[in-house]
Amino acid sequence: MKNMKKVDFLPVSKEDMDKRGWKQLDFLYIVGDAYVDHPSFGHAIISRVLESHGYKVGIVALPDWHKIDDFVRMGRPKLGVLVSAGNIDSMVNHYTAAKKRRHDDMYAPGGKGGMRPDRATLVYCNRIKEAFGSDMPILIGGVESSLRRFAHYDYWDDKIRRSILFDSRASILMYGMGEKQIVRIADKLRDGVPVNEITDIPGTCYISSEYDEQNSVLIPSYEECIESKSKYAVSCRLQYYEQNPYIGKTLVQKHGDKYLIQNPPMPPLETDELDEVYALPYMKNYHPMYEKDGGIPAIQEVKFSLAANRGCFGSCNFCALAFHQGRIVTSRSDESLIKEAEEMTKMSDFKGYIHDVGGPTANFRGPACKKQLTLGACKNKQCLFPEPCKNMDISHKKYLNLLRKLRAIKGVKKVFIRSGIRFDYLINDKDDTFFYELCKYHVSGQLKVAPEHISDNVLKYMGKPENSVFNKFSDKFYKINEKIGKKQYLVPYLMSSHPGSTIRDAVRLAEYLHEHNINPQQVQDFYPTPGTISTCMFYTGIDPFTMKKVYVPKTPHEKSVQRALLQYRNPENYKLVYEALTKIGRTDLIGYQNRCLIRPPKGDILSNNQKKNRRNDNGKAINGKGSFGKNKGRTQDRSRKSEKRGNKSGVSRNHRR
């Protein structure tokens, strides 16, 4: 029985091929993640989709890139080689926002780091050419390729790099989710079409020596982007404007004497198509070969979760989702999700808890408005920023109906929602039914939300609503919990040093945290990852939508100061917090009153009058040692121990999906 289970995974060796009676693969898939046959992993979906169309696919996961042995162990594939760096850009996977090397990798056996190379897509493509020659079709995809498809700013090199299609010397780049693209490419290759003639498929990029001037938009070239930051900002804006599968135009970017051609995006999968993808025969686990190493940690996040939707019309500037999955939300049917949940209850290690029902944004179940179904998302408008569009359909009825059905399944004790809830969407729903049931049934004591900041100056550069919207949501959350007799708390995701954020903005955020008794566990420095508008601002100091200058905190020291202010309670941050408060003239926040963030430094000479009259904000005398009065804010006060841990997942939030 054990051997039969191994055969059910796609082949990873010549022996596996022999068991299936295969003499040659159609496609070899090289991937920078461990082989996990679960639909939360891109390589699992693409390989199973190909299999469902009759193609023979073999998986080489985390190959030793120092030599070609792993690349050739299943022989030369008939049609081509697929390459993906994995679920996360390899540089984001390897380095923190401070450019420090990470020691672990949740997508590798036992969580061990260092099992994939930096810039994995490029390294793998070089080895493939060495193994099979320059005539082998190489098809690159996944997050790393998708977000680096144009000339892009690279944070780790601190320079503009060419499109990854040029640097990898691959044949075709597939951007976005890829299910439709890969099948169309595979069919053409099977029918004998040369790979350099496959140029008409949406959601793909290719290199050409010419382009159609009548039906294309020429964006600033690679060379122009290097020479001019304003040209780079224009390039980023035009890229975002044309990411429309229905009316978007072909984009062209010159690199030297060649052109990168990006066809318009592939239309998103419709509900029945999504259902078919998630109904494929996944093993829902990592390959047994990893058992001896302790398995693959990433499976724990998704094994008992349901991926209910794709896409996000929230369009935060620091998030790459709009550039990868797109702004049009599509969802699986209730029937598909219920069937998967019922199958989940039969798993031997299922304890009755569905950990999540969501996606990029849990409470989006369809397009923002009907117009998106035929015209796509608006080119120069956002659905929720600066305020909800009047044409947006704000309703949680479909999502609520799904959650009720899931709760009723035999064997299900609790259904949680852990992926992001867009509070600005929820608070504008006139029907409170979902909000009440969310608090009553789907929160496990804490609800994680992402206000990111409280300074309206910073929020506008993030593409997030004004802080008053979060305050309104927070007040309502606690009122509902009071009515239903529960003590539950909001745990906010916060970001420091985003473009536009000054020290004064960081101090305002620290004051807010103090006032509301929030000791944040989830704090993350802004991470300039490829393919986001915020990264464009970071590099250029320009908002590409307005072409106006933006203040950017860039030095490591200023970043440390802004982060320290978010965790001002940590004694290790005292000097940085003191420096910030004195620098901007906010010494009123250094003292013994409740409103103060920190006490005066030891040895600071106080006048006799100050010593005699040290009182808190309520007028009560403070003892010789001083004290912080207990704040009555309702948001959970996290321990200092958890505060020091920071963002434990180690991965930038905008690259998690």
Question: pLDDT by residue (tens digit) across 370-403?
Answer: 999 999 999 989 999 999 999 999 999 999 999 9
Q: Residue 417: its pLDDT value, please?
A: 95
Q: Are 163 and 531 in contact (CB under 8 A)?
A: no
Confidence of residue 324 (pLDDT cuts 50, 70, 90): very high
Q: Residue 656: its pLDDT value, please?
A: 39
Confidence of residue 520 (pLDDT cuts 50, 70, 90): confident
Q: Residue 605: its pLDDT value, please?
A: 54
Instruction: Let me know how long the chain is.
Output: 657
CA pair distance 167, 146, nearest whole angstrom: 14
CA pair distance 173, 301, nearest whole angstrom: 29
CA pair distance 198, 180, nearest whole angstrom: 14
Confidence of residue 17 (pLDDT cuts 50, 70, 90): very high
Segments making up each domain of the chain, as ranges: 2-204
Cα radius of gyration rounded to whole Å, the chain: 26
Q: Residue 419: its pLDDT value, please?
A: 84
pLDDT, mean of residues 543-561: 97
Q: Are 514 and 631 in contact (CB under 8 A)?
A: yes
CATH 2.40.50.100 matches 2-204: no
pLDDT, mean of residues 11-38: 98
Confidence of residue 6 (pLDDT cuts 50, 70, 90): very low
Detail the residues annotated as belonging to a binding site for [4Fe-4S] cluster.
312, 316, 319
Detail the residues annotated as belonging to a binding site.
312, 316, 319
Q: Are 94 and 113 in contact (CB under 8 A)?
A: yes
pTM higher than 0.85 = yes
Q: Residue 522: its pLDDT value, please?
A: 67
pLDDT digits (tens, 9 = 90+) for 574-590: 999 999 999 999 999 99
Sign of CA dihedral 63, 69, 72, 73: negative
